[in-house]
Structure 1
Amino acid sequence: MGIIAGGQLGKMLIQEASRWDIVTYVLDPDEACSARNVASFYVKGDFRDFDAVYAFGKQVDILTFELEDVNIPALQKLKAEGLNIAPDPDVLALIQDKGLQKAFYAKHHLPSSDFALYESSDAIKEAITKGVLDYPFVQKLRKGGYDGRGVALINGSDKVLLEGASVVETKVAIDKEIAVIVARNSADEVRCFPAVEMTFDEQTNLVEEIFCPANLTTEQATKAQSLAIEIIRALDMVGLLAVEFFIDKEGQILINEVAPRPHNSGHHTIDSMLTSQHKQLLRAILGLPLGTTEVLKKSVMLNLLGEVGHEGAVYYEGFEACMAIEGVKIHLYGKKETRPSRKMGHVTILSDSLEHAQHKANIVKNTLKVKSWKK
């Protein structure tokens, strides 16, 4: 099995694959990538480069990904030559482009916020001047944005627009943000994980906490899962799809965006579910029956981010104290160097009560810090 990109998601997928004696290859330009030390074979190369991706694909029997920003023409050539690629390159091409994503939702009558497409920041300014576009709105670059990058809330003329082809969306009055991960295999079997609720850091726009299960009505939880299934089937996608939703102040569920791979919102499944998101992905792409998504424990997941003012060789302040707390599971990604807001690991806190898990999570947040060694 080949995995394009060797970050923490690739590492966790490889760790799961090793349980089934699957030989794993990973392609990444960074020789210190998280997945290198757990993969059977590491190949240095740029996943945006045609030759690197094509040559890598010729070495493996099945190919999957931990990110979307991959050279599509190389994948299409490999597919034409018979390589099993999951998800399909056509799905990746659509999801790479947020404009195509929004058009897909509209075509299939899937609920999402109103939008318009603009080729440049000048075109957006012109629309504002002509009264076609009003503040506030959300600008998203069509390609390349992730982890809060490439997204800007524009609520007045003093805000700097992003440069590049963009999707401009009506600002939603958000009550909460949730995510549902759904898997589908080649037999059209689908399984959803329970919806999770996400909170975000206002400065970095990165996920701060994940709560499972989300605080939803039965109707909302069922609707979110139904929409996730509808999307993955409309895409005719085999693999794992993470669907992020807004719930607005009126209780309406709107699709924000999707990711065709393991996702930050599914980290907790390693510890809190009978089947993790990574094991489910393997089952899906290998044509195996999908696993149960039974919840073993309620959970809170925290991202471990590099502290502001710390850059260099990493250490984890408060690690031992947090390891003494029952139900605390610390996952480190093998990154040797920290910098502000870099994802260095995550912590899942388990309990029979979500309130109890949140109490422990608050202790962990105040205790476990990602810092650099002081010289």
Structure 2
Amino acid sequence: MLKVGILGGGQLGRMLLQAAANYPVETYVMENDADCPAAHLCHHFVKGDIRHYDDVYRFGKGLDALTIEIESVNDDALAALEAEGVKVYPRTAALRIIKNKIEQKQFYASHSIPSADFVITQSLQELEQYAHFLPAVHKLASGGYDGRGVQVIATAQDTGKGFDAPAVLEKKINIHKEIAQIVAVNESGQTTLYPPVDMVFDPVLNLLDYQVSPAELTENILWKVEAIALKVVKALASPGIFAVELFIDKVGEVYVNETAPRVHNSGHHTIEGNYSSQFDMLWRIILGYPLGNTAAILPAAIVNVVGAENYSGVAKYDGLEDVLQMDNVFVHIYGKKETRPGRKMGHVTILSADRKDLTYKQSRIRHVLKVVSGGEVSGER
């Protein structure tokens, strides 16, 4: 039985472990919080810092394989373990490209992968020299996650909102749609694609608000999306699960925004909506089994459940019973004890052959289900 470690114990690790229960695998998780969502579902929990070389190296030393649920892991330790024969998903070389926004953009450019025009800035002072490049989006080279480390710079007067650190300044695209395309790759380089999804983001939190799968795309644009996503993943030359986020502009041109080298929020619907979920698929890849069937069972929508404004403390789920009474609706609570504004606390998947039904139910769920706490915290966002 293979010993496989997951670096990070959040909701992605939790859902990976739920899928692991179907396979002959001994699971290990490392996280610095013994009460994290994944801690109680693995065979072995190790408390440690995924960003610390010694912690990661010691954790991985006796394992057969490692995977990640967040990019901000110590890649030097992963490289050392990989050199000693531990398999790493994704490979360290691919992770290093993706985890640094500057290297990621240069990677797209060097492989002729369509992406927004960009310049690299090292400081706020340097950013001020690119007023002619605006409007644009400023992205920290490293450390950004879930909407943090990203700032829209509309005019020269907004440059003070940027980052006084190495960053990428991307020309703003006139976006018509935001699409996620998940691609699975096994050890021999075989690939399979999930149906792409339409993503709708919360403009305040800059987090995924809800999504619908499959995306409504013309055949021509679908081919572009699939071809570009495959080009990205094949150039990374690594087995694993990759979520390629893309923009489609008003005239139908397709651009890569970013790539995630792991299971991803845009694929959570696959647990109920597809024959092989993204989590099942990653275990198939790690354990050397055949790639699964990515076909949709039914069209699906997802609503992210996040902490409500002005509430921090022990989580309470208002409206949960109302949601659970809906047909073909599946609630996933991540097991985080504490809520705070904007924190991902769960998601709800809706299945229906009727797209209007998906739209109606996702809207209703967003208004009915609220994550609050025992006491309101005034003025906290």
TM score, norm. by length of structure 2: 0.95
Offset, 1:286: 2.2
Deviations 1:32-63 (A, max 9, x none): 21100111111110011000000000131111
**Which residue number corresponds to residue 103 of structure 1?**
106
Mapped pair 1:28 → 2:27:
no
**Which residue number corresponds to residue 361 of structure 2?**
360
Offset, 1:137: 1.1
Mapped pair 1:8 → 2:11:
yes
Secondary structure at the aligned position of 1:356 is classed as: helix
Q: Tell me how far apart the structure 1 counterparts of residues 105 and 294 of structure 2 sit (CA, whole Å).
A: 29
Q: Tell me how far apart the structure 2 counterparts of residues 166 and 374 of structure 1 sit (CA, whole Å).
A: 39
Mapped pair 1:62 → 2:71:
no
Q: Tell me how far apart the structure 1 counterparts of residues 350 and 284 of structure 2 sit (CA, whole Å).
A: 26
**Which residue number corresponds to residue 224 of structure 2?**
223
Q: Which amino acid aligns with 1:320?
A: E
Between 218-227 and 6-15, the greater mean CA deviation after superposition: 218-227
Between 149-158 and 41-50, the greater mean CA deviation after superposition: 149-158
**Which residue number corresponds to residue 136 of structure 1?**
135
Between 152-161 and 319-328, the greater mean CA deviation after superposition: 152-161
For the 8 Å contact 1:187–1:287, the answer to whether it is kept is no
**Which residue number corresponds to residue 150 of structure 2?**
151
* Match runs of 1:334-373 below 5 Å: 334-373=335-374
Offset, 1:285: 2.3
Deviations 1:132-161 (A, max 9, x none): x43211111111111111111101233221
Q: Which amino acid aligns with 1:154?
A: I
Which runs of no fewer than 5 residues in structure 2 stay unpaired?
Answer: 377-381
Deviations 1:108-129 (A, max 9, x none): 111101111111111111343x
**Which residue number corresponds to residue 127 of structure 2?**
124
Q: Tell me how far apart the structure 2 counterparts of residues 127 and 198 of structure 1 sit (CA, whole Å).
A: 30
Secondary structure at the aligned position of 1:19 is classed as: coil
Q: Tell me how far apart the structure 1 counterparts of residues 89 and 362 of structure 2 sit (CA, whole Å).
A: 35
Identical amino acids, percent of aligned pairs: 43
**Which residue number corresponds to residue 175 of structure 2?**
174
* Match runs of 1:1-375 below 5 Å: 1-128=4-131, 133-159=132-158, 160-374=161-375
Offset, 1:23: 1.1
Secondary structure at the aligned position of 1:225 is classed as: helix
Q: Which amino acid aligns with 1:70?
A: V
Q: Which amino acid aligns with 2:17?
A: I
Deviations 1:49-94 (A, max 9, x none): 0000000001311111101111111111111111111111111111
Secondary structure at the aligned position of 1:24 is classed as: strand
Q: Tell me how far apart the structure 2 counterparts of residues 158 and 137 of structure 1 sit (CA, whole Å).
A: 13
Q: Tell me how far apart the structure 2 counterparts of residues 135 and 102 of structure 1 sit (CA, whole Å).
A: 18
Offset, 1:192: 0.4
Q: Tell me how far apart the structure 1 counterparts of residues 355 and 163 of structure 2 sit (CA, whole Å).
A: 39
Between 355-364 and 204-213, the greater mean CA deviation after superposition: 355-364
Q: Tell me how far apart the structure 2 counterparts of residues 301 and 265 of structure 1 sit (CA, whole Å).
A: 8
Q: Which amino acid aligns with 1:57?
A: G
TM score, norm. by length of structure 1: 0.97
Deviations 1:281-326 (A, max 9, x none): 1112222210111111111100000000111011111111111110
For the 8 Å contact 2:122–2:164, the answer to whether it is kept is no
Deviations 1:159-212 (A, max 9, x none): 221221010111100011000000000122100001100001110100001110
Q: Tell me how far apart the structure 2 counterparts of residues 107 and 126 of structure 1 sit (CA, whole Å).
A: 25
Q: Which amino acid aligns with 1:250?
A: V
**Which residue number corresponds to residue 379 of structure 2?**
none
Q: Tell me how far apart the structure 2 counterparts of residues 21 and 237 of structure 1 sit (CA, whole Å).
A: 23
Offset, 1:344: 0.2
Q: Which amino acid aligns with 2:326?
A: I
For the 8 Å contact 2:128–2:156, the answer to whether it is kept is no
RMSD between aligned residues: 1.1
Secondary structure at the aligned position of 1:23 is classed as: strand
Which runs of no fewer than 5 residues in structure 1 stay unpaired?
Answer: none
For the 8 Å contact 2:68–2:262, the answer to whether it is kept is yes
Deviations 1:330-350 (A, max 9, x none): 000000010000000000011
Secondary structure at the aligned position of 1:315 is classed as: strand
Q: Which amino acid aligns with 1:273?
A: N
Q: Tell me how far apart the structure 1 counterparts of residues 42 and 83 of structure 2 sit (CA, whole Å).
A: 27
Q: Tell me how far apart the structure 2 counterparts of residues 177 and 105 of structure 1 sit (CA, whole Å).
A: 18
Q: Which amino acid aligns with 1:247?
A: I
Offset, 1:374: 3.5
For the 8 Å contact 2:210–2:362, the answer to whether it is kept is no
Offset, 1:235: 0.9
Q: Tell me how far apart the structure 1 counterparts of residues 86 and 18 of structure 2 sit (CA, whole Å).
A: 23
